[in-house]
Amino acid sequence: MSTVYDFTVKDRKGNEVCLGAYAGKVLLIVNTATGCGFTPHYEPLEAMYKDLKEKGFEILDFPCNQFANQAPGSDDEIHDFCTLKFGTEFPQFKKIDVNGEDADPLYAFLAAQKPFEGFGKGLKNAALNKFADMNNKQFGDKAYIKWNFTKFLVSRKGEVVARFEPTVDMKDVRAAVEAELDKQ
């Protein structure tokens, strides 16, 4: 498979969705959780979505419960939480695994295109790295994603152009999205 458009995923109701339906759009693909310290990322994500959707931008939200059991609810409970607390309107898909033997093939592809390069410098990032490593030992060489709210930026051609760990400032994520939207 050469682009994200070659993948099929399930919407939160279990219906198959070919990502080819998003061809020509800039995508931000995010694994999320409702009980994480990074859950407030939903607010700038939704603001970005509202501001940039008309320019051809989509956020694809994939809840995941593999990081310290921080997304334990059902697909409907997670959706209700996000829409009520953060007013999210971007597409939310079925809860998936992003690591291990049952990792969704999309996430194995994304991580192969843009592997983990670290959380950055500082004590908080070092602490998160240690905690993530402990959590992800169970996945061995299939620990593709290190934590919730890892974001992948995808070009209008379906190519993965950037990976943002949850520790990256959302202003920097938005700047990269806007730069990608400006490309034709």
Active site residues: 36
Q: Are strands 57-63 and 160-164 parallel, antiparallel or unpaired?
A: unpaired
Residue 40: helix, strand or coil by DSSP? helix
CA distance 165 to 94: 21
Contacts of 106 (CB under 8 A, 6+ apart): 4, 7, 9, 19, 29
Query: For residue 62, what are its two tokens?
Result: 């994939």
Query: For residue 18, what are its two tokens?
Result: 């070919």
Query: For residue 100, what are its two tokens?
Result: 């291990």
Helices (H), the chain: 42-52, 75-86, 105-113, 123-136, 170-182
